[in-house]
Structure 1
């Protein structure tokens, strides 16, 4: 798994003046990826995105936050963290300098998506019908080009879940 040490990530973030950490997941099941649609009245409303959220003070590290956020937003349980895709910075709705770190993951129960914070979910092969931000598209493209995605696709032909 291509994953930098968590301490390296948080030290680099501190040196860069990051105020808030967010974790995100590219959930790959059989070559399909899970996208979530933000409520229209929310920050970046109507946008399709990856399951993601703020690191809370009670989280022991970025991995703990990743597991918690995926479960909170989708009802899914991470089976394996398969790789680190990278990070991007943005200014949050409250004005904080925020960095989102994103990993690829697999889940144990992909057909059981239960949304708590989003209007819709979709298992997709491409983002053509579900446009995402340029930052999220870059992460998805990196995943689609990875050996991990090719392995998921070969071992599990794409299926669609709703």
Structure 2
């Protein structure tokens, strides 16, 4: 017998869940020569542009566009971003969900817009990826191109259909 009152259901639906996950997006930015854009973080790792999805009903693609602009000064349209996978692992008891996105840039030069984090951005051939890679960036690159045999922390992968029709 259900003893839940409509008021209880409404308050449960309006109450935020306990925080137990972090949601971010890693953006593979390709140039017309097929090179990938990587930034050298001051910690010593190389990483893709990306970051947290804002808790403002921001879409994953919109977060990718915003993070790319904030971190590199590069501008792309939301419609040019393809979100292709969701990666999930756990760090220090927190579920980390990284959405993987890819976009091809026809022109533009990346700028260091956050010098307290990134010292340089560089275009890198897939046959010459530097190391060490930041864990989530390595996971995104490995999900995109498993043939590259990129070392990365283990993660669960869910393929995302760009069209929503299973293709």
Paired with 1:69 and 1:106, the residues of 2 have a C-alpha distance of: 15
**After superposition, what is the alpha-carbon deviation per residue over 1:63-84, rounded to whole angstroms, capped at 9, x for unaligned?**
2211111111111112411351
Q: Secondary structure at the match of 2:126?
A: coil
Residue of 52, 55, 69 corresponding to 2:53: 55
User: Does residue 1:140 correspond to 2:141, yes or no?
Assistant: yes
Q: Is the CA contact (8 Å cut-off) linking 1:55 and 1:62 kept in structure 2?
A: yes
- 1:144: Cα distance to partner? 4.1
Q: Secondary structure at the match of 2:82?
A: strand
Q: Secondary structure at the match of 1:72?
A: helix
- Within-5 A mapping of 1:89-100: 89-91=89-91, 96-100=94-98
| Shift in alpha-carbon separation, 1:130–1:59, aligned structure 2, 3 A | farther
| Shift in alpha-carbon separation, 1:32–1:126, aligned structure 2, 3 A | same
- 1:104: Cα distance to partner? 0.8
Paired with 1:135 and 1:55, the residues of 2 have a C-alpha distance of: 14
What is the TM-score when the length of structure 2 is the normalising length?
A: 0.60
- Larger Rg: 1 or 2? 2
Residue of 17, 28, 31 corresponding to 2:30: 28
Unaligned runs of 5+ in 1: 1-16, 40-44, 147-162
Q: Secondary structure at the match of 2:81?
A: strand
- 1:48: Cα distance to partner? 0.5
| Shift in alpha-carbon separation, 1:73–1:62, aligned structure 2, 3 A | same
Q: Is the CA contact (8 Å cut-off) linking 1:86 and 1:103 kept in structure 2?
A: no
Unaligned runs of 5+ in 2: 1-18, 148-167
Q: Is the CA contact (8 Å cut-off) linking 1:84 and 1:104 kept in structure 2?
A: yes
Paired with 2:71 and 2:21, the residues of 1 have a C-alpha distance of: 23
- 1:24: Cα distance to partner? 1.1
Paired with 2:20 and 2:62, the residues of 1 have a C-alpha distance of: 19
State the Cα RMSD in Å: 3.0
> Higher relative CO (CA 8 A, sep ≥ 6), structure 1 or 2?
1
User: Does residue 1:38 correspond to 2:41, yes or no?
Assistant: yes
What is the TM-score when the length of structure 1 is the normalising length?
A: 0.62
